[in-house]
Amino acid sequence: MGLKSNLVLVRHGQSEWNEKNLFTGWKDPGLTELGYEEAKKAGELIKATEIIFTSMFTSALKRAQLTGEIILKGIGQVGIPVIKDQALNERDYGSLSGLNKDDAREKWGNEQVHIWRRSYDTPPPDGESLKNTAERVLPYFNELVMPMIFNGDNILVAAHGNSLRALIMQLDKISEENIVKLEIPTGAPIHYQFAEDGSVALKQNLYE
């Protein structure tokens, strides 16, 4: 069975709110200086694969878009189509958005905040659970991206910790119980190769 196409997933570089330990979600801070460096490093790691990409998908949030732009510049492929959609946005943290994580623990208690952060299907007030996030990410991915992969295209996705968790849960067949434990570092590319039938033939974390 021949290898047919490639998918590279990358979480955005460190954002200004990551640095301040704030719940970010759909809020739209930019990258820190470290975040720019992480995106450049991701570009170097991806360039070493020599993959020629057909398209890049990213969210409606600038930290992911900037990361993708820096990567495309680094690999010399700035001319490819870039598709931006809020379906790939980070999980919406609702009432927690903009709060310091330590302050949130003081307000609601450590156990409750841990449940909101690390359960699969319990959303914070006015926000989304990982389950809710997967329910918008996966149909978008399956309807738009997977047909391109079946067609032999090479796709880059620059997105967020939780939108990527949803994708990895499907691609790696990880349980709901275990996917919430998966940590995805900022600016860390993950490379999948697909067989002709659309199954995952190879996975490697380029940052290890």
Extract long-range pairs of 14-22: CB within 8 Å, 24+ residues apart: 14/38, 14/186, 14/187, 15/63, 17/98, 18/186, 20/100, 21/100, 21/101, 21/102, 22/98, 22/99, 22/100, 22/101
Q: Which residues pair with 194 in a beta bridge?
A: 5, 200
Q: Give the model confidence (pLDDT) of 123-167 as tens digits.
A: 999 999 999 999 999 999 999 999 999 999 999 999 999 999 999
* Residue 90 annotated in active site: yes
Residue of 69, 90, 160, 191 marked catalytic = 90
Residue 168 predicted with pLDDT over 70: yes
- On the 0-12 / 13-18 / 19+ scale of CB atoms within 10 A, 169 is buried
Q: pTM of the full predicted structure?
A: 0.95
15 known member of a binding site: yes
pLDDT, tens only, 35-48: 999 999 999 999 99
Architecture of domain 3-205: 3-Layer(aba) Sandwich (3.40)
Burial class (CB in 10 A: 0-12, 13-18, 19+), 132: middle
